[in-house]
Structure 1
Amino acid sequence: MTVYWLVWDAAAHWIVERLTAEGALPHTARLRAAGITAAARPPAPNCQTPPSLATLFTGTWPERHGVTGFRIPGTGGRVEESAAAFAPGRCAAPPVWRTAAEAGLRTAAVHVPWTIGADGEAEPGLDVAVEAYSDRIDRQAALPLDGGPQHFAVGPHPLDVTPEGDRIRVRSGARSVALGEQDADWRQLRFGTDSGVWLRTVVSGGRRFLLRTGAWRPRVVGHDRALTDAVAETLPVFAGEGIGPTYRTGGLGPRLVDGGDGSAEDLFVSSMACVHRSFEAPARTVLARHTADLVVIYLPTTDDLGHELIGWCDPKSAAHRPDVADRIWRHVRTVYGWADRLLGAVLDRARGQDTVLLGADHGIAGTAWTVHPNEVLISAGLAARTPDGALDPARSSVLYHPADNGSLWVNHQDLPGGCVPRSDAGALLDRAESVLRAMTEPGGGRLATAGFAPSPGGDPAVVRHVLFDPDFLPTAQLRPDHAVIAPSRKPGAHITNNGDPRLHAIFAARGPGLTPGADLGTVDNTVPAQVALHQLGLGPADRARPLLPDTPARRVCTAT
């Protein structure tokens, strides 16, 4: 018996509901008809990917697992310092695969965090662990071509570009690819044996550009040598994200919402196909060859797409654009369709007594505005700038934290470099809360903040979380013009969770004991881990008990 767990990043329940109703996700419909389905509440006050994945995989809230954003403030040092959330050991609660390993069960994990230790080896019980995000070489880029030989670099790797008639040849060491303006697909170019980029040429604004994805060094480790070798041999060049930043700034030509003809969206989504191939290949190898008890597969493409496009299709958002929404939704349907086909492969691989779970870490909502809380705090005399215009934490009594996880911190004197008495922290936070509550959208009365909350596991006397309205994307950055709120170039986000149902994740599962066609309504996103453990025979789980039959735990023996 195997539990298969497929995770689509930012697969919002509202998006999946609409696509399933349209018939665009046949395998999702097949799974939901065969088992249970629900909308799943992500963690609060922060629902960025790391805390949301930690909640999903451990079945606990941030108070227990300790992950409060992409970066975690309050981990020692000065007030502005923070630690990487995906670092080995940073998740304090045991994920499902660790609990499984303690019972003698084995796991295969494809691009799942916290599966590789600080020593670079797979965690106990991991037959294979594939991971790449922790070693980024360089970000994506659009490189202008002038018609002659040119030299670019991707991190430490030089690229030589030379014309060949109506094509160009791009070289890295002994490897090269030829690219033409009419080529509709991206090409891989490897750097040595462990990294590379995907390349494509395009003409935009009368100029020719070489588009390239970012570059990462993937790792494939594990305790099943045959499976590990098989996965490593079939890995394509890894692309961890599409060319969203270039699309967002008009580098692919004007976006549909800016008067474009749709070609910029086509190019952006074509880069997402490179990302999907990077994740699908190891997933299919694992599905074909594993003997594990638990298989966990992560896909980021639904999140990447959502950040760049979803707001224009979100009728509850001020970013909604009815004039282009149908054309944008076509791309949403395409990318979710890729994910659905991989779910189909999982369902086809699963046997009668196996369990298949589909989940997401969180949902996503449209964002119309970018908000700069530190500009307000500076105006109120609570924070300060450096002479060159950056935030000066050393002279700030309260700051919106550079970790961008929604938290306000008092720079009290118990911290290195602190500047105010700790006894003043409560009054300072109250004052900061008061001035932030007054932020409204330009030309309207809509409030940027939806409330305030204590920090999970933090000291409420010195830290407080801001819950932003989903239409307001917060950033710790300052602006040269000192504007507090400006139009957002990124129309989808999920930073703080004020309870908006658009931030609810999809959850569905079928397997022994799971009632076919049962809609559970809204549940906590701690439930999927409890269901996975129950189906693995690792004991009844209190949160899962109302959803599952009262069956005895499966007996598990540890091999000797």
Structure 2
Amino acid sequence: MAVPSGARLSSDKGACRFFRETETPGTARRHQCGGKQRARSADAPDRSGLCIAQQRFARAVKAACCRGGPVGDGRFSTPDRFMKGADPLVWLLIDGLSWELVKRYRARQPGRPSAGWPCYPLLPLSPNCQTPPSLLSIFSGAPVSEHGLTGYLVPAPTPQDCLAVADAFQVWPRHIDMVWDEWARQGITFRLCAVPFVQPDRLGDALLGQSCVYQGFSLRPEVIENDGCLCIEALDVVARVSVQQGGAVLEWPEDQGRAPCRLPLGSTVHVPLSEQVPGNVCKAIALRAVHIEKRVCVISFGYREVQALDLQGDAGKAYVANDLTVLYRTGQLGKRLDEGGQGAAEWLLLELMREMHESFCDDIVGAVRAGDAQRVIGYYPVVDLLSHHLLKYLAPEWASELMQEVGQRLFDEISEWVDELILRCVDAAGGEVRCVAHSDHGMAPVHHDLYPNSFFEQQGWLVYDASGVADMQKSAALFHPADNGLVLFNTARLALSGHDPGSVTDAWRKSLAQPFRDEWTMFECSDGQVFSEGWTGGCYWQAPRGTRLLAARSEHAVRLSRKGGDHTVCATDPWLRGVLLDASSTPLPRPADAEVTLPAIRHWLTATTS
């Protein structure tokens, strides 16, 4: 296995295969100073959490801009080959990238190459703009009325359970053609990176490569303290973690005969696993020694089963695809900004998520650099995952000055990662290329959670049985547990108390604090789900600005949120608009509409590449 340019061999034989040079000395210095100074973590002038590879890339971008670059005549690298065909296409799906976020970044960084790319806003999908329905509409070109997905969870009522739900990624309609099905029939070759809704048996020889990272076996990431244990029975991994100067050591049981594995602070170590673990590539686990509130801990990035066809990234490294933000959400990375922290936990989260960025970049850029496909589609989840937790720090009506200062620097960094991915793909193509990067939705800042079912219960419109389950025989209103914005009404029962869906909505609005009363509405979807027993299934409530709606039973109708951003029901909030960036060597024709709909993207792209 070739060691990538950003890695070096470990000196401990039989312990670790390699680790990337991602030292962050500024971070170590900051913690060694005892944390009395408030703002090195807040201001982050040392760009905490960055790896050396990123800093080198930033210098390369700057140099390229001075001499032309992939935004001109120069190149970052000399490609081994060029993408095939007369009209090669790189199609990047940047999950959760908001039009508002891109506008802010361009205003703050007008000299970046991306500031010159044509840029168009995307309308959020209606009635629900969560990821599964949005991606399906993008890659199929089909509206919701045709594919029927209305969120991560889709209402699937049965005679036995009126409130049953199904996972959208499991029940999507297989009869609908995706764009790659069309390409296969046309004899166009392609590679797909972490893309859902693929049926390989329909694609034949046109599918040259594919990575599947969201199916199969997975283990969540964790924080391991000094003298703690890395114990993963399912992977036959048992080792003790002990802190030493400059990092930590992973010590294996004596009967394994393995040398200790050194974990230097600021470096990610990829430890090889047994060939028997699930997956056909990337059979390794990533570990990183970090500072958390003046103590050294080890982060295990967890494990993801990866099944791949001709993976062009490093098949011996872990593919970091697990949601690392769970460590931040649960407070394991230190005190958060919304808990009185100074920004260290947020910068540490970015340091960890940089590894996810690298995994998806290596996969996608490798697919482009392979040079054997006419089309490459890559999915990139990092912006979405981080926005779900950090976006509220950009909300001036709620966030403090410190929160806004740290939040803006965090999102400048995240936006640079998006630039990096796009520029690396353009460079790897080796010549003239059509390159489009766009999101599936935007993301609205969230700082409060609202619980409509709490209000319904207080009003007597929602009744629970002894086991805490909604009694659909006695209730008259319910926010659906799919958490997709759907509100169920039993109009006959509401009429008995002189109410209807409109008056219930008005009563809910008036029950909220003043900041949450305006700029939202209820609308009806003509293709609503059919429910039995007199229940309607086509009414959706938009979330008031700065909030999300949850179906969980709660003692309080309003609570501070642990989340920082969300995207559910289509609304006019400008943050919910996605964005389309055209980084092609020659800009593509403008889309027909000023605000592009998701189903129109496929038709626009296939028309411009035919």
Bucket of the pairwise TM-score, normalised by the shorter protein:
0.7 to 0.9
Structure 2, unpaired ranges of 5+? 1-86, 531-535
Q: Which has the higher helix share?
A: 2
Q: CA deviation at 1:95?
A: 2.3
- The equivalent of 1:556 in structure 2 is none
Q: CA deviation at 1:349?
A: 3.7
Counterpart Cα distance in 1 of 2:406 and 2:94: 23
- The equivalent of 1:211 in structure 2 is 299
Structure 2 counterpart of 1:407, one-letter code: L
Q: CA deviation at 1:305?
A: 1.5
SS of the aligned residue for 1:14 comes to helix
Q: Does 1:62 align with 2:144?
A: yes
Q: Does 1:284 align with 2:365?
A: yes
Q: CA deviation at 1:190?
A: 4.2
- The equivalent of 1:381 in structure 2 is 460
Counterpart Cα distance in 1 of 2:123 and 2:563: 23
Q: 2:524 aligns with which of 447, 454, 461?
A: 454
Identity of aligned residues (%): 21
- The equivalent of 1:52 in structure 2 is 134
Q: CA deviation at 1:312?
A: 1.0
Normalised to the residue count of structure 2, the TM-score between the two structures is 0.74
SS of the aligned residue for 1:5 comes to strand
Equivalent pair of 1:45/1:497 in contact (CA under 8 Å): yes
Q: 2:156 aligns with which of 50, 53, 74?
A: 74
Equivalent pair of 1:407/1:463 in contact (CA under 8 Å): yes
Q: CA deviation at 1:343?
A: 0.4
Q: CA deviation at 1:136?
A: 4.8
Q: CA 1:164–1:513 in 2, change beyond 3 Å: closer, same or farther?
A: closer
Q: CA 1:164–1:472 in 2, change beyond 3 Å: closer, same or farther?
A: closer
Q: CA deviation at 1:410?
A: 5.3
SS of the aligned residue for 1:402 comes to coil
- The equivalent of 2:270 in structure 1 is 188
More deviation in 263-272 or 81-90?
81-90
Q: Does 1:437 align with 2:497?
A: no
Counterpart Cα distance in 1 of 2:455 and 2:204: 45
Q: CA 1:27–1:440 in 2, change beyond 3 Å: closer, same or farther?
A: same
Q: 1:473 aligns with which of 538, 548, 563?
A: 548
Equivalent pair of 1:391/1:478 in contact (CA under 8 Å): no
Q: CA 1:12–1:495 in 2, change beyond 3 Å: closer, same or farther?
A: same
More deviation in 336-345 or 243-252?
243-252
Structure 1, unpaired ranges of 5+? 222-227, 413-419, 538-560
Q: CA deviation at 1:275?
A: 0.8
Q: CA deviation at 1:309?
A: 1.1
Q: CA deviation at 1:468?
A: 1.1
Q: CA deviation at 1:427?
A: 6.8
Q: 1:94-130: CA deviations, max 9, x gaps? A: 322222223222221111111246x8x8678422221
Counterpart Cα distance in 2 of 1:512 and 1:275: 28
Counterpart Cα distance in 2 of 1:24 and 1:192: 48
Structure 2 counterpart of 1:324, one-letter code: M
- The equivalent of 1:199 in structure 2 is 287
Q: 1:316-348: CA deviations, max 9, x gaps? A: xx4333333122222212222122112012222
Q: CA 1:454–1:500 in 2, change beyond 3 Å: closer, same or farther?
A: same
Q: CA deviation at 1:90?
A: 3.5
More deviation in 343-352 or 128-137?
343-352
Q: Does 1:346 align with 2:421?
A: no
Counterpart Cα distance in 1 of 2:259 and 2:538: 53
Equivalent pair of 1:313/1:322 in contact (CA under 8 Å): no
Counterpart Cα distance in 1 of 2:575 and 2:489: 31
Counterpart Cα distance in 2 of 1:400 and 1:158: 44
Normalised to the residue count of structure 1, the TM-score between the two structures is 0.80
Q: CA deviation at 1:264?
A: 0.8
Q: CA deviation at 1:297?
A: 0.9
Counterpart Cα distance in 2 of 1:371 and 1:94: 38
Q: CA 1:265–1:162 in 2, change beyond 3 Å: closer, same or farther?
A: closer
Counterpart Cα distance in 2 of 1:196 and 1:497: 40
Structure 1 counterpart of 2:379, one-letter code: Y
More deviation in 369-378 or 450-459?
450-459
CA RMSD, 1 decimal: 3.5
Q: CA deviation at 1:484?
A: 0.7
Equivalent pair of 1:246/1:252 in contact (CA under 8 Å): yes
Q: Does 1:314 align with 2:399?
A: no
Counterpart Cα distance in 2 of 1:100 and 1:238: 28
